[in-house]
């Protein structure tokens, strides 16, 4: 089977893999993130935090009051994007489980 996979710490590569060795990553849902940010809600999976007012930040960032991630929207060539700087609570180490499955 020919497929894309992501090896921790490496660039995505095209390799032949057995089906039981495939690694999958959830895609970022830009529209859902934009809707959350417009409603002043954190777009992190499983977080119900409210965002601060971006007008109070020099760079226009909103910060989550619970997980402390930073969110910002930008429009580039007519397309709106959501950008995040994730707090350490959401970053993965090489052997850490995904954020939604941590205890």
pLDDT in tens, the chain (103 residues): 444 444 455 555 555 555 555 555 556 788 999 999 999 999 988 889 999 999 999 999 999 999 999 999 999 999 999 999 988 876 656 566 665 666 5
pLDDT of residue 29: 84
pLDDT at 87: 87
Question: What tokens does 85 get?
Answer: 């700087």
pTM for the whole structure: 0.61
Which residues 6+ apart lie within 8 Å of 18 measured at CB?
Answer: 1
Domain locations in the chain as residue ranges: 27-89
């Amino acid at each position: 089977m020919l497929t894309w996979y992501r090896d921790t710490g490496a660039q995505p590569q095209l390799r032949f893999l057995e089906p039981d060795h495939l690694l999958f990553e959830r895609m970022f849902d830009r529209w859902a993130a934009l809707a959350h940010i417009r409603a002043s809600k954190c777009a992190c999976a499983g977080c119900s935090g409210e965002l601060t007012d971006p007008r109070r930040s020099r760079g226009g960032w909103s910060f989550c009051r619970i997980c402390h991630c930073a969110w910002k929207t930008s429009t580039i060539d007519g397309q709106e994007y959501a950008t995040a700087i994730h707090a350490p609570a959401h970053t993965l180490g090489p052997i850490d489980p995904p954020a939604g499955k941590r205890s």
